[in-house]
Structure 1
Amino acid sequence: MSSNKTARPADQTETWYTETLHADLRSSYRCRKVLFDARIDHQHLVIFDGGRFGKVMMLDGVTQLTTSDEFIYHEMLTHVPILAHGDVREVLVIGGGDGGVAAEALKHRGVQRLTLVEIDAGVVDFSKAHLPEVSRGAFDDPRFELVIQDGRDFVADTDRIYDLIVVDSTDPIGPGEVLFTEGFYRDCRRILRPGGVVVTQNGVPFFQAAELEQTIRFFSALFADATCFLAAVPTYTGGFMALGWGSDDPGLRKVEPAVIARRFADAGIETRYYTPELHHAAFALPKFIGDIVARGRRR
């Protein structure tokens, strides 16, 4: 689970960053220019100009986002649960120090407060300085609140209640590992208002089936509705990315398309990936992913 900066033998003037997140796959980005490279508290953070991919951000050798397609991931993590719920006022984001989820969620006028819990203050400072096109002013929104704390500890200790919890975590490696545990999800359930939603980053099922299956197993013990929905993010190699979904209200996934369309129109927001039509289609799972979800529900 590491990354190596290598020069392509055919052209020693070109530098490539290679990610080896998956056992049978290596993916490389051509680096036109290193923009930032340093260890910040718990993590090694790198950002470079990746050409077609825009700015590429890596933590501990694993790609977190590219500015060319981050909108897909962030829009789906936020607009799907917010528009399905219909009255989200209090949002909790665990991780997400780049500000992308916050920027999308705060497009909704009904959101009264968004609390972002990030383990490293340096990640937020870095994002403000080097990725302002991702946060788009979210850190300065009066409804935005930043808490520097381990997300696991925050959900275990807080008495506040939320309509939506977004777990915008890294993969279950290092500091992010605790955000995939049964205890963490149980605490999320405790601080979720009735009828609320928890959504999670659950990787690419083609490569990370066990990760999704485990989350669904934990969710099934906590929520009346436990499943995932999908987004196709080019940066995350391997096909569809799974976004976990947990709620005590199974009806949220069955809101009439006309209602979703009306809520979207009333919100008056602009998107580049999300549409009301895609909203419902995202819950239609290819059979192999549906089988993973079914296995998680059985255990």
Structure 2
Amino acid sequence: MNSQDWTHEVVATGEVHSHQIVRRLHTERSQFQKIEVLETAGYGVGLFSDGRIQHVAGDEYIYSETIIHPAALLLGDHCKRALIVGGGPGGAIRELLRHRSIETITQVEIDPTMIDVSRRFFPHISQGCWEDPRVRLEIADISDFLARNGERFDLIIYDVSEPMKDTPASNLFSSVFFTKIRAHLSERGIFVTWAGSVGPRSHELAASIHRAMETAFPHVMRYVCSTQSYGTSWLTLGGSNHPYEPLQLGREAVDRAIADHIQGTLRFYDGTTHLHMFNLPKDVRAALAQAPEHATGAGIQFQPGTGVQP
């Protein structure tokens, strides 16, 4: 295999996941990261940040629907004001705009180059989301935004890159910062973040983020999905002050809620998928119960293939 024609992303020690590259459409180094737009043989055009996959056309809908719809439907008519941290090419915003209750979405993105590249190369993902009058884009560091903004949100979504050293996300995944996020939630609000791979040899980051979430929030929801282009099972977490019980919703109840609250047709998420996602496999439950203590510290930094550093 010619390494020049394939992506090369370490998933765990001794394990990589790769995509064959058909064309390199764009490469640019911004103030914060190296941004690449690659056409892959299996999944079409994709966004890569510092060599790590973010989204590809073939299955970004799985990630985008997963990070938005379970929490938004639990909120129901209370899902009016949302904050999206990061947001990349706009898939999460697109899905949130489907909810009839949504009134405002504030996107806080630190890197204007990411928005420019997304507008140019990923209109099939954003589908005009930034032109919707309900969406407000702020180019800012999320730490600065939270410090100067006292607004509370019903739904806060973390759609940021992995917390690798010397990247904008390096200090965002800790109980300290999650507690700051919690202060900006409304009474029934939910904070949702991806937590990463929960494969048998690649779960340490997810376990650390889970521990940090449990330290910062009185109630934490956990669910998994398989975004095939990531090459691994993926954990998503929801933190809240209010106790939500996703598994109390049966298949029919979720399907009715989708019909009542969401415009258009979903490709991935429905009542059957909901039950599958929230029933975590035994080995995943065991892995999350064994998170290292440093997860509650000031920061979690991900070292691909070598674990998580405090």
Same fold at TM > 0.5? yes
Structural mapping, 1:207-286, within 5 Å: 207-238=201-232, 240-257=233-250, 258-266=252-260, 267-286=262-281
**Structure-to-structure mapping, 1:135-174, within 5 angstroms:** 135-173=126-164, 174=167
Deviation at 1:288?
1.4
Q: Which amino acid aligns with 1:26?
A: V
Q: Which structure 1 segments of 5+ residues have no match? A: 1-6
Contact 1:156 1:184 in 2 (8 A): no
- Count of residues paired in the alignment: 288
Q: Separation in 1 of the partners of 2:33 and 2:211? A: 29
Structure-2 change in CA distance of 1:184 and 1:38 (3 Å):
same
**Maintained 8 Å contact 2:197/2:205:** no
- 1:235, distance to aligned residue in structure 2 (A): 1.2
Question: Normalised by the size of structure 2, how large is the TM-score?
Answer: 0.87
**What is the identity, as a one-letter code, of the residue corresponding to 2:210?**
I
Higher relative contact order at CA 8 Å, sep ≥6: structure 1 or structure 2? Answer: 2
Which residue does 2:299 correspond to in 1?
A: none
Partner of 1:102: 93
Q: CA RMSD in A?
A: 2.0
Inter-partner Cα distance in structure 2 for 1:95 and 1:233 = 19
What residue is the counterpart of 2:282 in the other structure? 287
After TM superposition, the structure 1 = structure 2 runs for residues 84-95 of structure 1, keeping only pairs within 5 Å, are 84-86=74-76, 87-95=78-86
The separation in 2 between residues aligned to 1:126 and 1:38, in whole angstroms, is 9
| Aligned position for 2:178 | 185
2:66 alignment partner in structure 1: 76
Q: Is the 8 A contact 1:156 1:187 kept in 2?
A: no
1:129 is matched with 120
**Aligned partner of 1:210: which letter?**
E
Give the stretch that moved more between structures: 27-36 or 124-133. Answer: 27-36
Asked if structure 2 preserves the Cα contact closer than 8 Å seen for 1:220 and 1:297, the reply is no
* Partner of residue 197, structure 2: 204
TM-score, scaled relative to structure 1:
0.90
Give identity over the alignment, percent: 27
Aligned partner of residue 85 in structure 1, secondary structure:
helix
TM-aligned CA distance change 1:295 to 1:115, over 3 Å: same
Unmatched segments (≥5 aa) in structure 2: 297-310
Please give the secondary structure, in 1, of the residue aligned with 2:206.
Answer: helix
